[in-house]
Amino acid sequence: MDTSELHNVPRNTGWIEVVCGCMFSGKTEELIRRARRAEIAKQKVVIFKPRIDNRYSARHIVSHSEQSLTSTVVDDASEILALSENAQVVGVDEGQFFKANLVEVCEKLANQGKRVIVAGLDQDYRGKPFEPMPQMLAIAEYITKTLAICVVCGNPADRTQRKTQSADRVLVGAKDIYEARCRHCFEPPSE
């Protein structure tokens, strides 16, 4: 749920929102939507993404449907603290590509009174929890799970099927390498 839709929006405190789901479920679009609404309300918004994600654009976060927002690329979550000093809203895209310290960085930001929005994959291509997103879910006040549509059967989909044999956990790409599948149609790779 977007906190801007709550009847009781938190006051005098920060908080953490997590938007998670599989690929093609609209996570980045949802992050962009929330960030845009905050900007329209004249709040200072900064968006970060990890360096690993070089697809489409280096200085923007871009959803698969090509909505975009200016963002800053960082090598490590610790860089976000200094770069967020004047911000009221801090967005993080591709949270699953950060290290475990993303959790403490987001805690610090929220404790400073900022609204923190983290988008990311909650499962890897094997259907296993994708750290540090499970830890982010545990400490977040608000959680949105976005679902895609299974390309095989049309059911709501929460898994990312890899269409190649690679066993690298991180293999950046889009429609040529991955597709969304439901629990029933998902075929986990052989161990």
The residues that are catalytic are: 94
Q: Which of the ranges 7-15, 128-136, 169-177, 183-191 carries the binding residues for Zn ion, by CB under 5 A? A: 183-191
Minimum distance, C-beta of residue 156 to Zn ion, in the bound complex (Å): 9
Counting contacts by CB under 5 A, is residue 182 touching Zn ion? Answer: yes
Counting contacts by CB under 5 A, is residue 150 touching Zn ion? Answer: yes
Q: Which of the ranges 21-29, 80-88, 104-112, 174-182 carries the binding residues for Zn ion, by CB under 5 A? A: 174-182
Nearer to Zn ion, 121 or 150 (CB): 150
97 and 46 in contact (C-beta within 8 Å)? Answer: no
Counting contacts by CB under 5 A, is residue 155 touching Zn ion? Answer: yes
Minimum distance, C-beta of residue 22 to Zn ion, in the bound complex (Å): 12
Nearer to Zn ion, 169 or 183 (CB): 183
Counting contacts by CB under 5 A, is residue 152 touching Zn ion? Answer: yes
Can you spell out the DSSP letters for the chain?
Answer: --GGG-SS---SS-EEEEEEESTTS-HHHHHHHHHHHHHHTT--EEEEEETT--SS-SSEEE-TT--EEE-EEESSTHHHHHHTTT-SEEEESSGGGS-TTHHHHHHHHHHTT-EEEEEEESB-TTS-B-TTHHHHHHH-SEEEEE-EE-TTT-SEE-EEEE-S----S-----TTTEEEE-TTT--PPP-
Nearer to Zn ion, 50 or 127 (CB): 127
116-145 positions binding Zn ion, by CB under 5 A: none
Interface positions with Zn ion (CB under 5 A): 150, 152-153, 155, 182, 185
